[in-house]
Amino acid sequence: MRHVDFSRNETLVALVILAFCAAATLADPAFLSMPTLTDLLRGGIVLGIFAVAALLVLISGGIDVSFTAIAAVSMYSTAMALNTFAPGVPWGVAFALGMTIGAGLGCINAVFIAGFGLPTLIVTLGTLSMFRGFMLAFIGQKQITTLPSGMREFGRMMMIRGTNPDGSFYSLPLAFAFLVGAVVLTWVILHRTMLGRQVFAMGGSLESARRVGVNVKGAQFFVYIYVGALAGLAGVIHASMTRVANPFDLVGLELSVIAAVVLGGARLAGGYGTLTGTLLGVALIVLVRNSLIVFGIPSTWQSVAVGVLILIGTGLPAWQAKRAAARAA
């Protein structure tokens, strides 16, 4: 039997999730019903794709806070362009266009970070403000309520659909398969390619990576373009599922995404992070955001709960590392 390492963030987050689910089930026996479970899975689709993207950046030694703005621009531009020029195209075209727009916006980050060597946080804060300012200046609060037919069709496609004995319905959208696909593809890139090894090497030490021959600029360009593409995908999926393209729908989600990745064990200094931990972090954040009402806690306390989780998720590993260093001394 393998020894369970309670010092790992993944283990601690998994235990917290189990405890949370047990307490919620005691408070409301219907908590573990199919409608509730599928609602939680649905709520983790966009957050999960964002978290996969944020994990890649953190492993590489950077930090990106612009992905929600990239997603918003991508989904709105895609919906507007298709409504204007090709309203009847299949949903795959909408996804391809959204990912292309996202990759292009991610390339802007890459130019400043890889090309000019600017700090990642400063660059992405700047592009976050720039993209949102662009939306505010040229679009304002105008929403697209009539999406292209392909996006509407995708929003109605389900992987699972059924009815409980009590007559309640449950369903899991096809969009969940895209989260699974993003996780699998990112895992392959990180653990089965030379590019993935270069990403981990950059996070460990950028200068050391250069000395051993890593093409740092090329790897950084890939990371931010890939993140932009995933953000574009998440934006189009979000619009398709909500059946509206709201330019400011995803504003403020960066906090929850970064919280999920950090809770999963990714180091802010770079060089380490797991997809398993990230998905567990996403699960915990989704539980907190969607289930506080079960305990009679107002939803207005969501931000407080997420902030507490961030402090615990970052503080506990630092405390453990300090104890380990003290014992080694």
pTM given for the model: 0.94
Evaluate if residue 7 carries a pLDDT over 50.
yes
pLDDT digits (tens, 9 = 90+) for 233-271: 999 999 999 999 998 889 889 888 988 998 888 888 899
State the DSSP H helix or E strand holding residue 169, giving kind and residue range, or none if neither.
strand 169-173
> Residues of the chain with pLDDT > 90: what percent?
63
> Residues of the chain with pLDDT > 70: what percent?
96
> Quick one: tokens of 94?
């909408």
> CB–CB of 206/75 below 8 Å?
no
- Average predicted confidence (pLDDT) for the chain: 90
CB count in 10 Å sphere of residue 329: 5
Q: Which of 85-89, 101-105, 117-121, 321-325 has the lowest mean pLDDT?
A: 321-325
Give the Cα separation of 313 and 299 in Å (integer): 21
Q: What is the pLDDT of residue 1?
A: 46
Give the Cα separation of 115 and 109 in Å (integer): 9
Q: Please name each of the domains of the chain with its CATH number.
A: 10-23+32-319 (1.10.3470)
> CB–CB of 71/53 below 8 Å?
no
pLDDT digits (tens, 9 = 90+) for 158-216: 999 988 777 778 899 999 999 999 999 999 999 999 999 999 999 988 889 999 999 99
Q: Which of 66-70, 138-142, 157-161, 272-276 has the lowest mean pLDDT?
A: 138-142
Q: Which of 100, 225, 226, 76 lies closest to 151 in space, CA to CA?
A: 76
